[in-house]
Amino acid sequence: MSAFLRWWIPWEPSIVAVIVFAAAVWLYWRGARRSPVTAPWYRQLAFWTGLLIVYTGLHTQLDYCAEHEFFVHRLQHMGLHHMGPFLIALARPAATMRRGLPLSWRVRFLRPALRSAPVRWLADILLHPFVAAVLFAGLIWFWLWPAVHFDAMLDWRLYRVMNWSMAVDGLLFWWLILDPRPRPPARLAPGVRVFVALAVMIPQILIGAYITFVGRDLYPIYSLCGRAFLSITPATDQYIGGLILWIPSSMMSVIGALIAFTHWINLDSRGRLPKQQSRREAWRARVVARTQGPGTALASRRGGRPV
């Protein structure tokens, strides 16, 4: 067997990963065939590339290298938390994958599940801008805390929770930021999306710079378990890993903010942003309604005579 084929054999096979990725491939492929309008070629390319990046990080030989070299671990998480979910969210696959489901399944299972109170309650919490930003940056800090990282690299169950949490959180965050629609139906206004994307960049820069310049080995677990590349010293390994978190991972937030800003400009130029009434105008309308009656206030807003 060639080295290329051996690369795609999972280091630690997971039936959950096989089922999830097989379902995603089937739904998107079926939906794209049934609805080519919602899935043009450039969106399909973004989706398949993003899905391949996430699969590579979770279920290939890259997993072995990530367990034995810190900078490879940072590359793995950059793919799981940033690049892969970013491309998937950019492809906007929800409508396409929904069309991939049989109609009876959509009516009997999907719609009731999405409209159920627990799902809506959980979505309101996880997709709140403050919670989404804290989770996105906080998970990076949490899993890189030396004591937590040490345990995660030794316990395969905790290791899988770490990787899956990064992938799922990345999908939720970038779906929130890269939504091109106005609010509503989008959960965040375009300006808020730009602010949140830039806000999560600062904690990444701080932790990346700290890991790069701390001057001591924060993660001895890689030396204890054996390193994948013996020619790279622990100091150099940690230095490169910190740079990966500091520069390219943080730059993904800048790119996300630029795309969100572009959506903002497009919506404004097409007149799809809701016109917000100023505080002075709202106060004046309330005063008119109280003093002259609702008919006059309605007429003043419409520019006509009292009704």
User: Is 291 part of any domain?
Assistant: no
**Hey, what long-range contacts does 127-135 have (CB within 8 A, 24 or more apart)?**
127/172, 127/176, 127/187, 129/176, 129/188, 129/192, 129/196, 132/172, 132/173, 132/176, 132/196, 133/196, 133/199, 133/200, 135/169, 135/172, 135/173
Contact 227, 68 (CB under 8 A): yes
User: Is 239 part of any domain?
Assistant: yes
- Provide the residue range defining the domain that includes 252: 8-276
Structure token pair of residue 95: 């409508």
User: Is 157 part of any domain?
Assistant: yes
pLDDT band at 84 (very low <50, low <70, confident <90, very high): very high
* Predicted pLDDT at 291: 67
Contact 39, 31 (CB under 8 A): yes
Angle at 233 between CA 227 and CA 238, to 5 degrees: 85
pLDDT in tens, 88-114: 999 999 989 998 888 888 888 888 888
Q: What percent of the chain has pLDDT over 90?
A: 57
User: Is 305 part of any domain?
Assistant: no
Q: Comparing C-alpha atoms, which of 100, 292, 82 is closest to residue 174? A: 82
Q: How many domains does the chain have?
A: 1
User: Is 281 part of any domain?
Assistant: no
Q: Comparing C-alpha atoms, which of 61, 70, 84 is closest to residue 11? A: 61
pLDDT band at 296 (very low <50, low <70, confident <90, very high): very low
Q: What is the mean pLDDT of residues 150-175?
A: 94
The dihedral region occupied by 254, where left means phi > 0, alpha psi between -120 and 50, and beta the remainder, is: alpha
User: Is 197 part of any domain?
Assistant: yes
pLDDT in tens, 16-70: 999 999 999 999 999 988 877 777 889 999 999 999 999 999 999 898 999 999 9
Higher pLDDT, 1 or 225: 225
Distance CA 33, CA 100 (A): 8
Q: Quick check: bond before 185 cis, omega within 30?
A: yes
User: Is 124 part of any domain?
Assistant: yes
Residue 55, amino acid: Y
Contact 166, 245 (CB under 8 A): no
Q: Comparing C-alpha atoms, which of 32, 22, 27, 48 is closest to residue 101? A: 27
User: Is 215 part of any domain?
Assistant: yes
